[in-house]
Amino acid sequence: MAGEIDASVDDQQYDRMEMLKAFDQTKAGVKGLLDSGLVKIPKIFVRPSEELAEESGYKHTTQLIQVPVIDLSDIQNADKRKQIVEQVRIASETWGFFQVLNHGISSTVLDGMIDGVRKFNEQDVEEKKKYYSRDLKGRVGFNSNFDLFSSKTANWRDTLGISFSDQINTQELPDSCRPIHRESTVEYSKHVTVLGNTLLELLSEALGLKPDHLIKMECSKGHRLSCHYYPACPEPELTLGATKHSDPGFLTILLQNQINGLQVLNQGQWVNVEPTPGGLVVNIGDLLQLVSNGKFISNQHRVVANCIGPRISVACFFSGHFCEVKVYGPIEELISEESPAKYKEVLLTDYMMKFLKIGLDENPGLNYYKL
C-alpha cells in the first residue's frame, strides 16, 4: 500500500488523482499509512511550495496572547451572568473563539468520549472499513478527508462522523462504541446539546436580544459530531491536520485531548489554543456571523500536524437541520439605517451543500453572500 502512494514519486510521474484513489481504496485512512511503516509522507499530503513559503509571512505565535477563557460557574446568579455575557460578547466580537470552564459536563463523560474515539481508530482495520463511506449525508461514517478529491492538499487526519440531526439508533454506532463507549457517545451528545443551548442564550443576550432568540431560530436543531484522529506524522512541517478554514454552521463546541495542534488566526498571528483540562473550545460559525450581521466573527483556524500523537478531538457542529427548507438572513432587530444588512438571505440546504462541495481550501463561504 505504501509503495502505491510513495512520497518519493517525482513530479513527472506524479498523478495526483491516481494516488488519491489508491489511498481512498485502502479504506485504512492516515493511520493505515502510518501502520505500514512509511517514513516520508505521500505527495498528496504535502502542501504546495507557495503555501509553505507563505508560512514564513505569519508572525510566530507567542503565548503572551491567549484565547479568552470564560468560567460558566454561577451562571444563574444575575450579576455573574451579566459578567459572563459581557465576556462572551467581547470574545465573539474580537476572536470568534473562547474556552469555557465549569460548563456542566463531567470529566468522566469527556474522557469516555475521547477514549471511544481512540478505541475506534485503533481497532482492527477490517472493522473500521465496515464504516468507511464518502456519503456525507449518512448518520454514521468513517473516512479520511471529507473533501479528499476537491482539496488542493490532503490533511493528516481520519474522521468518524456521527449525526444526531434525527433520533439515532444506538445500534448504528460502531462496535467500538458499544456498550460502554456507545453510552459515552450518547451521554456526551446529550450534555453538549444542553451546553449548546446555554451558549446560544448567552450569545443572544450578548446581541441585546431575548435569551431564547437564537434557539427559536432553530440554530441548535440537530448537531453532528466529527471525531478526529490525528496520528503522529513523520514530516509534520510539510502538511497540516486541518487546512485553514472557518466553520460553516452557527456554533462549534470542541473537545480535545492534551496534545496541541489547534491554532486560531489573530492579527496575522497563529495562536495556539492550549488544551485546558476539563475545558471546551467554542467558536462562532459563518451562519452566526451572517445572522448577527457581522457583529460576531467566524474566525479562521487550522490544526497543525505533530510528530507525537495521536491528537484526538471531537467537534460538535450546530448547523441547524439542513435537510429542512430554512432561510437565514441578518436578524431584523440588528438592522438599522446606521447598520444596514451586510449579507443576503441564504437557503440553509444550499449553503451547507456548497461548503461540502468546495471543502476547506477555498474562500470563506460568506464571501458569496455579501451585499
User: How far apart are the C-alpha atoms of 73 and 70, rounded to whole Å?
Assistant: 9
User: How far apart are the C-alpha atoms of 227 and 257, rounded to whole Å?
Assistant: 12
- Tell me the backbone φ, ψ of residue 303, rounded to 5 degrees: -125, 125
pTM above 0.75, yes or no: yes
Q: Name 270's bridge partners.
A: 265
Longest dimension (CA), the chain: 67
Cβ density class 12-27: b for 16+ within 10 Å, e for less:
eeeeeeebbebbbebb
Domains of the chain by start residue, with CATH = 58-369 (2.60.120.330)
Per-residue pLDDT of the chain (371 residues; tens, 9 = 90+): 444 454 444 454 468 999 999 999 999 999 999 999 999 999 999 999 888 888 766 655 555 688 999 999 999 999 999 999 999 999 999 999 999 999 999 999 999 999 999 999 999 999 999 999 998 777 889 999 999 998 889 999 999 999 886 555 566 666 555 434 567 888 999 999 999 999 999 999 999 999 999 999 999 988 999 999 999 999 999 999 999 999 989 999 999 999 999 999 998 899 999 999 999 999 999 999 999 999 999 999 999 999 998 999 999 999 887 667 889 999 999 999 999 999 999 988 888 777 777 766 555 678 888 98
